[in-house]
Amino acid sequence: MPDQTNPLICWRKLTSKCVNPLNMDPTPSDAANWLDSNHPCNRMPDAPHLAAGRVLRVLSVAAVELAVVHACETFEQDGLWQIEVRFNTAPELTSLLSKGQRADVWIAPAALLAQAVHAGVVNEPRPLAQVGVGVAVVQGQALPDVSTVTAWVQALQSAPSIFYTHASSGQHVHAVLSSMGLLPHLAHKIRRFDVGEDMLIALSQMADPTGAMALGAISEIRRFSNRGLAFAGPLPEPIAHRTVYAIATDPLSPRLSMAKQWVQVLKQASIWGDAASTGMEPIG
């Protein structure tokens, strides 16, 4: 666990763990539906706000959690409304959309929300932030050269273990390895994770991490700088990738006006200070 006094680690507040569902008008009795969501920054509203109908419900990728948590805390300062947040990977959000899940606000890869518009689940999304894909290694060892595609491939071939996720960054890495014909040669040492944090924890706890590397969102890698990992650099430009995250509201939400107000808070530049310092780039 990271130092809880570090302002960049607000996303690890275990007291924020949610246990309530994100259907459009939940009651506390629906809590069992949330048991499969264990992201440490999920936020749970209290019973009085639920009973009064003063709760906004947000489904979001975990990549932007620092800014989302900051926006929630800012929005809740007057005590009138609370924000219920469930953080997910992009594949999990895709699954929720396919099952007809609704929320007041969605934050997801722009391509995913574009599909949701056609399904009538969200209004036209707006770009929110973007982040590149980088390479992480355990601190104390020589950083691999990833400045060119040739050097990056050599580093992969030398690495005893290669980690990436099933989320947006991992999907890109997998596609690149496939297109370059490298997957058959590297498959025996590739390990994939559902969540970036789990991937980076696994790397940091390897008994012999020499040469092992993880490929993931730069913002997640940099948040592990105080947990034994080092940022080796972004993917070289010819294969570089930036995931663009967008935000959209539900056109059928009975709280649409208030949801739009929270979105405006999240879009404020002051909300993104901590997130930007990790490599997350706010848009507009």
Look at residue 213 in the predicted model and tell me its pLDDT: 97
Residue-level pLDDT at 38: 67
User: What confidence score (pLDDT) does residue 143 get?
Assistant: 96
- pLDDT per position as a tens digit, 190-234: 999 988 989 999 999 999 999 999 999 999 999 899 999 999 999
Point out the residues of the chain with pLDDT beneath 70. 1-38
Q: Which residues pair with 107 in a beta bridge?
A: 60, 247
**Can you tell me the distance from the alpha carbon of 16 to that of 87, in angstroms, rounded to the nearest whole number?**
12
Q: How many Cα atoms are found within 13 Å in the side-chain-facing hemisphere of 152?
A: 24
CA separation for the pair 41, 2 (Å, rounded): 14
CATH number 3.30.70.920 given to 131-239: no
CATH 3.40.190.10 domain range(s) in the chain: 7-130+245-282, 131-239
pTM value is 0.80
Distance CA 18, CA 172 (A): 30
Q: Which CATH class is domain 7-130+245-282?
A: alpha beta
Q: Which residues contact 66 (CB under 8 A, 6 or more apart)?
A: 8, 10, 11, 219, 274, 275, 278, 280
Q: What is the pLDDT of residue 48?
A: 96
pLDDT for 7 equals 28
How far apart CA 186 and CA 66 sit, in angstroms, is: 34
Sequence-distant (6+) residues with CB within 8 A of 225 are 231
